Structure 1
Amino acid sequence: MITIEEFKKKQSYKTRLIGLDLGSKRIGVSICDTNQSIATPYKTVNKTNTNNLINELKTIIKENDIKGIIIGNPLNMDGSSGRSAQSINDIASNISKSINLPVCLWDERLSTVGAFNLSSQLDVNISKRVKNIDQNAAAFILQGAIDFLNN
């Protein structure tokens, strides 16, 4: 895995990236456009095991010509790493070793809350909000990263 600064150096402007919100039961997936300006929710994947996740990611990456991976890093509100951050780091490390693309962790504090609030403002009904929360959180994470990469 690399830092966001190293990630920025390795990326060209006209490439698509994938964003991941790794949860304990589901994985939210988002993809940005080739200009890296807009992150869009893509799908939610049920988490079974890391090998199945990696195979699913490889398929998505190939189908969408993805050139880099941003993974939400669930830091505590004080910026420290907790138990969930360590688990995410382990999975991210496995993804990095298995997929030949740059992988970067991005601070995801409040991404799920932000995604839920945004869908609430858009007047999305509660069952759709809950159903799509993981992929919306992934888009929230990826949007934060691409905003940073573009500045």
Structure 2
Amino acid sequence: MSGAPGPMMRAVGVDLGSVRIGVAIAPADAAVAVPYEVLERSGERARDHEALAGMVADVGAEVVVIGLPTSLDGGEGPAAVGVRAEAGEIAAALDVPVVLHDERYTTVSAERILSEQGLRGPARRKVIDKVAAAVILQSWLDARD
């Protein structure tokens, strides 16, 4: 059957923020990403990466997809350079592959989703990061088809 998607794998999506890390998951038997958790930054990246590694192990992920903040023209600025560096540190702390995926428009998409659900203010801030992670992961899943 031509055009069939590749084998499904359990994946974790990550939206690296300066204050919070959004985490989403996609079970191996589903092609849909779902928001999972928001990890508040501790001020120590090694501790944050250890917490993320625990989540990856807990869900039995086979791959971690980290959003790469590129500019609208596809270029990479300081934010992308920082994410690439941190993704390397995360990869060193994990036993599964780490891939970077273009995250252009993910925050806009996540904001639209939450707006449609009527979430405002503090309620929105509590979930926006994991919703953004789900948008990143869903985009990666869709690109694999």
Same fold (TM over 0.5): yes
1:15 to partner: Cα distance: 2.4
**Aligned-partner residue type, residue 17 of structure 1:** A
Question: 1:94 and 2:89 equivalent?
Answer: yes
Question: 1:1-151 alignment to 2 at 5 Å?
Answer: 13-47=7-41, 48-149=43-144, 151=145
What is residue 3 of structure 2 aligned with on the other side? none
Check conservation: 2:8, 2:31, Cα contact below 8 A. Answer: no
Tell me how far apart the structure 1 counterparts of residues 69 and 86 of structure 2 sit (CA, whole Å). 13
Tell me how far apart the structure 2 counterparts of residues 46 and 14 of structure 1 sit (CA, whole Å). 30
Where do 4+ consecutive residues of structure 1 move more than 3 Å? none
1:36 to partner: Cα distance: 4.3
Tell me how far apart the structure 2 counterparts of residues 70 and 116 of structure 1 sit (CA, whole Å). 20
1:25 to partner: Cα distance: 1.0
**Aligned-partner residue type, residue 58 of structure 2:** E
TM-score by length of 1: 0.86
Tell me how far apart the structure 2 counterparts of residues 14 and 85 of structure 1 sit (CA, whole Å). 28
Equivalent pairs counted in the alignment come to 139
Tell me how far apart the structure 1 counterparts of residues 117 and 13 of structure 2 sit (CA, whole Å). 22
Distance 1:145 1:36, change over 3 A: farther
**Aligned-partner residue type, residue 16 of structure 1:** R
1:46 to partner: Cα distance: 1.2
Check conservation: 1:14, 1:36, Cα contact below 8 A. Answer: yes
The runs of 5 or more residues in structure 1 that have no matched partner are: 1-11
1:53 to partner: Cα distance: 1.7
The runs of 5 or more residues in structure 2 that have no matched partner are: 1-5
Check conservation: 2:53, 2:93, Cα contact below 8 A. Answer: no
1:119 to partner: Cα distance: 1.2
Secondary structure of 1:120 counterpart: helix
Tell me how far apart the structure 2 counterparts of residues 112 and 35 of structure 1 sit (CA, whole Å). 26
